[in-house]
């Protein structure tokens, strides 16, 4: 089959040093959509535009939208406790937290998100998912891993980024729908976006979908998630998630909860809401992000969606996030001019 034509960077050629900036930030793919139409597109040599790329924690934002469809159908009340939906988590760090606190990552949980620390919970979760070699003491599956987590019970006070929370949400999705998480995402979200390709997801030994970071898809298809948010839950005339869920998400969470974080050093006044990052800027932009440089950036000011997939050598740094915020705003302004 012949290679699909690539739009190229034509509308962005006036942006100084753009190709250099993309190369220096280890870009694998960049797709820019304005008002629903691809305006610019770039792929690193050797990257197949129709090939899938791991999204890492952009997967969390996809989970947040899937949860939103349950809210829309009256199947989920975000103010109820997690153990209302998952009895097995009673007594765990998550049992007495509300679903909304899990969505906004304000759960008090003992969980180390240090991607380089072999003793961290995030590496243990990777091992359970099959991303790293297992150790003898590891839980047999994600369900057991989540049930073993403990915390101090002071929920709702501080933003605490924790990948385990997204898998708690996926477990809630399973219990409410009666479907495995990958099937629920497929039926309730992905199949309604009009994507060109199937997405993929990592599953553990019991078939539990690795909701916090395991989805892979093409850059073009990922722009449709951003378009869905930009247009209030509608894409190409199809209602997928309610305008109310999108509104609740982009209005943001409690900025005070995130005070003092690296995130707020880049986005002063920013917050985390329904598994999305809300910048708090005057232009109202917001984004999904995964380690090693995966992004959906949504700019309502210019009605632009930017997807960037990357292979950063480091998982995440403040400077990488600052650099990309500047890059995305420059791209949106250039497309919008």
d(CA 337, CA 302): 9
d(CA 16, CA 11): 12
Taking residue 171's Cβ as centre, other Cβ atoms within 10 Å add up to 24
Taking residue 329's Cβ as centre, other Cβ atoms within 10 Å add up to 20
Residue 77: CB partners within 8 Å, gap ≥ 6?
71, 99
d(CA 42, CA 262): 29
Q: How far is CA 306 from CA 18, 248, 259, in A?
A: 14, 22, 27
**Is-contact 327 23, C-beta < 8 A?**
no
Q: Residue 117: exposed, middle, or buried by beta-carbon count in 10 A (0-12, 13-18, 19+)?
A: exposed
Nearest to 295 by CA among 311, 283, 318, 281: 311
Q: Is 59 a catalytic residue?
A: no
Catalytic residue among 57, 61, 163, 310: 57
Q: H-type helices in 73-120, by residue range?
A: 82-85, 99-103
Which residues have a catalytic role annotated?
A: 57
């Amino acid at each position: 089959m012949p290679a699909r034509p690539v739009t190229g960077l034509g509308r962005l050629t006036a942006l100084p040093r753009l190709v250099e900036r993309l190369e220096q930030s280890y870009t694998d793919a960049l797709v820019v959509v304005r008002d629903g139409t691809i305006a610019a597109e770039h792929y690193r040599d050797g990257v197949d535009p129709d090939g899938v790329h791991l999204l890492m924690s952009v997967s969390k934002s996809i989970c947040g939208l899937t949860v939103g469809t349950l809210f829309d159908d009256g199947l989920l009340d975000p103010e109820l406790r997690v153990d209302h939906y998952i009895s097995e988590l009673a007594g765990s760090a998550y049992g007495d937290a509300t679903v909304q606190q899990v969505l906004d990552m304000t759960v008090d949980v003992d969980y180390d998100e240090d991607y380089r620390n072999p003793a961290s919970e995030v590496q243990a979760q990777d091992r359970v998912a099959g991303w790293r070699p297992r150790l003898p003491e590891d839980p047999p599956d994600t369900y057991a891993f989540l049930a073993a987590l403990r915390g101090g019970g002071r929920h709702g006070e501080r933003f605490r980024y924790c990948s385990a929370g997204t898998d708690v949400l996926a477990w809630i999705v399973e219990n409410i729908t009666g479907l495995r998480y990958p099937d629920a995402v497929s039926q309730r979200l992905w199949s309604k976006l009009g994507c060109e390709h199937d997405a993929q997801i990592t599953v553990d030994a019991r078939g539990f979908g690795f909701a916090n970071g395991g989805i892979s898809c093409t850059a073009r298809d990922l722009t449709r998630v951003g378009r869905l948010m930009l247009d209030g839950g509608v894409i190409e005339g199809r209602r997928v998630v309610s305008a109310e869920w999108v509104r609740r998400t982009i209005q943001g969470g409690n900025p005070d909860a995130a005070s003092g974080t690296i995130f707020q050093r880049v986005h002063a006044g920013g917050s985390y809401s329904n598994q999305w990052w809300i910048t708090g800027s005057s232009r109202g932009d917001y984004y999904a992000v995964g380690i090693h440089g995966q992004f959906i950036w949504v700019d309502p000011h210019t009605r632009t969606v930017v997807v960037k997939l990357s292979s950063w050598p480091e998982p995440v740094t403040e400077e990488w996030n600052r650099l990309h915020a500047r890059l995305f705003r420059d791209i949106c302004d250039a497309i919008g001019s």
